[in-house]
Amino acid sequence: MTTTRLPAVPPNPAPSSPAPSSRRASAPAAPGKPRRRRHLREQLSGWAMIAPATVLLLAFVFLPAILGFGLAFTNARLVSPRPIEFVGTDNFVRMFTDPTFWRSLLNVSYFALVVVPVQSGLALVMALLINKKFRGVNFFRTLYFLPVVTSIVVVSLLWLFMYRKDGLINEFLSNVSFGLIQGPDWLNDPATAMPAIIALSIWQAAGFHMIIWLAGLQSISGELYEAAQLDGASPWHQFRYVTWPGLRHTRTLILVTITIQALGLFDQVNVMTQGGPLDSTTTIIYEAVRSGFKQQETSYASAISLVFFVLVLLISAVQRYLTREKD
Amino acid sequence: MMNKRFTRILATSVAAAALVGTLGACGKGSASATSEGSNEITMWTHNAGNPDELKAVQSIVDSYNKSPDAKAQIKVQAFPQDSYNDSVVSAAASGKLPCLVDIDGPNVPNWAWAKYLAPLKLDVDLSKNLPSTVAKWDGETYAVGTYDVSLAMLSRKSDLAAAGVRIATVEKPWTKDEFQEALTKLKALGKWEHPLDMGTGGTGEWLPYAYSPFLQSFGGDLINRDGFQTADGSLNGEEAVQWAQWFRGLADEGFMATKSGKDPVQDFVNNKSAIVYTGSWAADTAMTAVKDDLAIMPTVDLGNGPKVGGGSWQWGVTSGCANSEAAMDYLSYSLKPENIAAMAKATATIPATDEAAAMLPEFAEGGASRIFMDFSRGYAVMRPETPAYPFIATEYGKAVQDILAGADAKTVLDKTVKAIDANIKSNGGYKD
């Protein structure tokens, strides 16, 4: 972590103070009537601006979610001529007595516990590396971001081939170790399937969080670094006492988004392992999709989704509480 | 500066994503909102990803539309296979099914039970069609196909001769012991890491389609077909456990991989395996590459004769169709021998009738692919004709994967039976 000086970047307002309020506060106080009218117009245009997003959210997120909560207590089917009946907590009883459900919960926890620290750490290192002025920085920024732009389904398919017993990764391991290491059949071994998916997921998504870290890094005033340098702070101290505290809000954002993303693991599993071998890579969302679409059990899938929703809500709330402003 | 630019890029991409999202939603909306004029009916097919088949369907439709007796103009809409079932189910939920749909054979009872499909009333005699191309449920015919597919073992005559293994024939297929011996001898040649490729890397419908015939040859089944109310005893009985142990044993003895490559036929062509277990659709590829050396053999007799799965994609008329008379008329037209032959030719599949087969040199008496017709006539077992099939298929597929991964056979099968029985019970026995 060498000098992170950015003379070209002007000091920006901290991310916590939203631009509109500061502008309004600094605007000269206009007398009575025109001010109110302007205020009204501002409000109207504000509502108009959030309207499209609100309508879309209501129609495609909230409404289906509410319907899903209701369906979880029925015996609704995707394809069925039978009327829907209320069955109480049957679906939940079935879920909590199903070992596959507990296994999926365990797999997701394992995935999240590894991915959250490793992916955010790697993304931060990458962001620090490219947050400098040197020739070709844009090349590296593009390079690191490239996996994010590629569809996860395509990435999963490519890695599927690389992970094969005679695939690229094992050939590489064998060649660099002069034939000493004979890699496993990564995705077909219960012990290595999940680590393999974790590695691929981190590789694919780290670039995205790198961009968020980068945005956070660039919002730290260069003057702070200059002052720190005048005080004789070492690069490590600059990172510890200037960069790290300056990334406070970015950190919370990244923690929460990576956690939610990790808990929702699905695409990689669906393309690469279909939950196997021996349930070692199945996840909550995969189970929900499998029972909802392939097995036509809409109500059971809704119950799984409801549990998932509560889980994500709880974890996010705890994280929010732990990272709150402590004053 | 960077920050502002970043915000702008972010805003633009969010806007673009939202726009794409809404466009996608619109596209989907208009696809199901098929406007069916008084004299136009819509037909959905799953083969958007298969240009040859789509072209054959389109040309039959075109010739029907041009014929003077056409009772309506047919409009074809093609979907990718992966999303086809979802499209039909969502269209059914919103009451916007087209008049004609194609259906994967084993799904017919499910859709008939859900009242998506109407019983067929065709002015064609279906009694001479391959039985596996006529989908019946509850005493009525709900769908009919122009072709079927079959399963076979492909090998090279030269390899079998080198190992001293006899070529299996329709009259005398390999028995379980002979198969074991053949694999041992082939393995001893040392030419292949795994002499057998069973397509174990396959997913989805391949798993029940390919492996339930082995189970049936052992004497087990996916479900007790007497009333279709329980899988207990059929799928977890002694025969089923034997099947599971035999199948897993093939991997344990090093005869096959627990997860084969993405394209087993290509691997066979490239000489990475001695015997490949695959569908009749792959025969063309293998024949072109291996030529006269190719041996097309029936699958193994594991006790109750060789078995292959019956039923491929078929056509049905939906129950809400306003002009079902025209839809039935089109279906009857599409079952003319020349149309059946054209479809079979385009898809490299088995034509549904002998009359059509006579028009195709490879399927005519003495033709290279004729043997597949014999397989279909002699060995085909329909996948259980019950609305529970889609559920059974996913559970069985998972059981196969777990068994290959080394799980205890009896435990896995018991768990599968429990899930299937619970599903049947929670659906009131699929009786209504």
Average confidence (pLDDT) over B87-116: 88
According to the model, what pLDDT value does residue B244 have? Answer: 93
Min Cα separation B96/chain A (Å): 15
* Backbone CA torsion sign across A31, A37, A39, A41: negative
Kindly report, residue by residue over B421-431, the tens digit of the pLDDT.
Answer: 988 988 888 88
According to the model, what pLDDT value does residue A188 have? Answer: 84
Residues 6+ apart with CB under 8 A from A271: A153, A156, A157, A160
Show the tokens assigned to A236. Answer: 């490590």
Facing residue for A82 by CB, picked from B21, B402, B428: B428
Average confidence (pLDDT) over B94-120: 89
Kindly report, residue by residue over B275-311, the tens digit of the pLDDT.
Answer: 999 988 888 888 888 888 988 999 999 999 899 988 8
Angstrom distance (rounded) from CA A24 to CA B278:
72
Average confidence (pLDDT) over A219-226: 86
Facing residue for A296 by CB, picked from B203, B391, B406: B391
Residues of chain A in contact with residue B398, where contact means CB-CB under 8 angstroms, are 275-276
pLDDT exceeds 70 at position B190: yes
Question: DSSP string covering A233-286, please?
Answer: --HHHHIIIIIHHHTHHHHHHHHHHHHHHHHT--HHHHHHTTT-STTTT--HHH
Portion of chain B with pLDDT greater than 90, in percent: 31
Determine if the peptide bond prior to A277 is cis (ω within 30°): yes
Kindly report, residue by residue over B209-241, the tens digit of the pLDDT.
Answer: 999 999 999 999 999 988 889 999 899 989 999
pLDDT exceeds 90 at position A55: yes
pLDDT exceeds 80 at position A32: no
pLDDT exceeds 90 at position B22: no
Check if A264 contacts B (Cβ < 8 Å).
no
Average confidence (pLDDT) over B193-197: 91
pLDDT exceeds 50 at position B90: yes
Residues of chain A in contact with residue B427, where contact means CB-CB under 8 angstroms, are 77, 80, 82
Asked if A290's CB is within 8 angstroms of B114's CB, the reply is no
Q: Does domain A96-322 have CATH number 2.30.38.10?
A: no
Contact B345, B364 (CB under 8 A): no
Average confidence (pLDDT) over A210-218: 90
Q: Where are the alpha helices (DSSP H) in chain A?
A: 19-26, 32-57, 63-71, 90-96, 99-130, 137-149, 152-162, 168-176, 193-218, 222-230, 235-238, 244-246, 248-263, 267-272, 284-289, 298-322
Residues 29-48 of A with CB under 8 A from B: none
Question: Of the candidates B404, B409, B324, B360, which has an alpha carbon nearest to the alpha carbon of residue B118?
Answer: B324
pLDDT exceeds 90 at position B416: yes
- Compute the mean pLDDT over every residue in chain B, rounded to the nearest whole number: 85
Distance of CA B251 to the CA centre of its chain: 25
- Compute the mean pLDDT over every residue in chain A, rounded to the nearest whole number: 83
Facing residue for B113 by CB, picked from A81, A211, A277: A81
Asked if A278's CB is within 8 angstroms of B402's CB, the reply is yes
pLDDT exceeds 90 at position B86: no
According to the model, what pLDDT value does residue B18 have? Answer: 46
Check if B2 contacts A (Cβ < 8 Å).
yes
Domain boundaries along the sequence of chain B: 37-148+311-372, 151-309+388-430
* Backbone CA torsion sign across B171, B135, B363, B283: negative
Portion of chain A with pLDDT greater than 90, in percent: 23
Give the ipTM of the model, two decimals please: 0.74
According to the model, what pLDDT value does residue A20 have? Answer: 44
Based on the number of CB atoms within 10 Å of its own CB, is B36 exposed (0-12), middle (13-18) or buried (19 or more)?
middle
Contact B117, B319 (CB under 8 A): yes
pLDDT exceeds 60 at position B33: no
pLDDT exceeds 70 at position A187: yes
pLDDT exceeds 50 at position B348: yes
Angstrom distance (rounded) from CA B62 to CA B121:
23
According to the model, what pLDDT value does residue B301 have? Answer: 92
Q: For residue B29, name the pLDDT band (cuts at 50, 70, 90).
A: very low
Residues 230-289 of B with CB under 8 A from A: 257-259, 261-262
Min Cα separation B289/chain A (Å): 24
Kindly report, residue by residue over B144-182, the tens digit of the pLDDT.
Answer: 998 888 999 999 999 999 888 999 988 899 999 999 999
Please state which CATH number belongs to domain B37-148+311-372.
3.40.190.10
Give, as one character, the DSSP assignment of residue A188: G
Which chain B residue's Cα is nearest to A10?
A: B1
Residues 75-134 of A with CB under 8 A from B: 75, 77-82, 94
Please state which CATH number belongs to domain B151-309+388-430.
3.40.190.10
Amino acid identity, position B386:
T
Residues of chain A in contact with residue B111, where contact means CB-CB under 8 angstroms, are 79
According to the model, what pLDDT value does residue B23 have? Answer: 40
According to the model, what pLDDT value does residue A29 have? Answer: 47
The phi and psi torsions of A70 (rounded to 5 degrees) equal -65, -45
According to the model, what pLDDT value does residue B38 have? Answer: 62
Which chain A residue's Cα is nearest to B200?
A: A188
pLDDT exceeds 80 at position A26: no
According to the model, what pLDDT value does residue A327 have? Answer: 58
According to the model, what pLDDT value does residue B45 have? Answer: 92
pLDDT exceeds 60 at position A80: yes
The vertex-B184 CA angle with B179 and B186, nearest 5°, equals 95
Average confidence (pLDDT) over B97-108: 90
Average confidence (pLDDT) over A251-272: 89
Helix (H) or strand (E) holding B313, with range, is strand B313-318
pLDDT exceeds 80 at position B7: no
pLDDT exceeds 90 at position A111: yes
pLDDT exceeds 60 at position B353: yes
Facing residue for A80 by CB, picked from B25, B114, B394: B114
Domain boundaries along the sequence of chain A: 96-322
The vertex-B400 CA angle with B89 and B428, nearest 5°, equals 45
Helix (H) or strand (E) holding B117, with range, is strand B117-118
Min Cα separation A32/chain B (Å): 34
According to the model, what pLDDT value does residue A197 have? Answer: 92
pLDDT exceeds 70 at position A126: yes
Average confidence (pLDDT) over A305-324: 88
Asked if B405's CB is within 8 angstroms of A9's CB, the reply is no
Q: For residue A18, name the pLDDT band (cuts at 50, 70, 90).
A: very low
Identify the residue among A130, A294, A297 best suited for mutation to test binding to B, counting B beta carbons within 10 A and taking the highest.
Answer: A294
According to the model, what pLDDT value does residue B222 have? Answer: 92
Identify the residue among B427, B430, B431, B432 best suited for mutation to test binding to A, counting A beta carbons within 10 A and taking the highest.
Answer: B427
pTM score of the predicted model: 0.79
